[in-house]
Amino acid sequence: MRRIHPDVEDDPDLVASYAYPRDEWLRLNMVASADGAAWMKGLSAGLSGEGDRRIFGIMRGLSDVVLAGAATVRSEGYGPARPRESWSALREGRPPAPPIAVVTRRLDLDLGGPLFTEAEPYARPIVITTEAAAQDRREEAAKNADVVIAGDDRVDMPLAVRELRARGLGRILCEGGPRLNAQLAAAGLVDELSLSVSPVLLGGDAARILNGVASQIPLVLAQVLEEDGFLFCRYVREVQDGPAG
């Protein structure tokens, strides 16, 4: 792997390349085809490559919490984040792995699946839902997860992010999907986009990495890495007067 912007360097330090600039920072991490498709046959894995997976692992290790929408959790078959030996230095003074936080309006999740039944106590999952979610589903979720109510009928994204930060989970890695990304962007909560561009054209009806309500967040291209035709781009907010949200 090599860096091609803002300078040129072979085998750059990936941990330093993806270090969080502040203790409170929300990073979107997505992969897309060269023509902007966010998935192949319904899954992001088909767009990924070895370098993308390597960076993905480092970003998870650096984060305090991994945030994902319910549709992504269901389609990608999420389980808990597993500790890695390479994370020991990255996570010094923190739990061995970050918890997964799921945004779900109605709690339409497999609450008996691995994400909820196989997580270690230090990485107990977090469910961010609404008052509209059925009480029996909330009670079922609370057996294996921390349940956060953030909004009446729709999840209030600024409140959801504040709740995570109140738990000391300031370095947020959002893994999508596109609808959740769009909601976070519309709320002005996105500090950074980490975008892997896969060297393939797909066409079809796959969503873009933001799919939903419109937003406009000016970005600055902070870094580009390259490997095997993949581009790994980091964009940060143009104005950083303080933490987003």
Residue 46: per-residue pLDDT = 84
Position 215 in a domain: no
pTM of the model: 0.94
Pairing relation of β-strands 219-227 and 65-69? unpaired
pLDDT tens figures, 161-187: 999 999 999 999 999 999 999 999 999
Position 222 in a domain: no
Range of the domain at 42: 10-200
Distance between CA atoms of residues 38 and 155, nearest Å: 23
- Number of structural domains, the chain? 1
Position 160 in a domain: yes
Query: Residue-wise pLDDT tens for the chain (245 aa)?
Result: 999 999 999 999 999 999 999 999 999 999 999 999 998 887 787 898 999 999 999 999 999 999 999 999 999 999 999 999 999 999 999 999 999 999 999 999 999 999 999 999 999 999 999 999 999 999 999 999 999 999 999 999 999 999 999 999 999 999 999 999 999 999 999 999 999 999 999 998 889 999 998 999 999 999 999 999 999 999 999 864 444 44
Position 32 in a domain: yes
Residue 242: per-residue pLDDT = 46
CATH of the domain at 165: 3.40.430.10
Indicate the SS3 state at residue 148. Answer: strand
Position 242 in a domain: no
Contact present, 49 and 33 (Cβ < 8 Å):
no
Distance between CA atoms of residues 68 and 80, nearest Å: 12
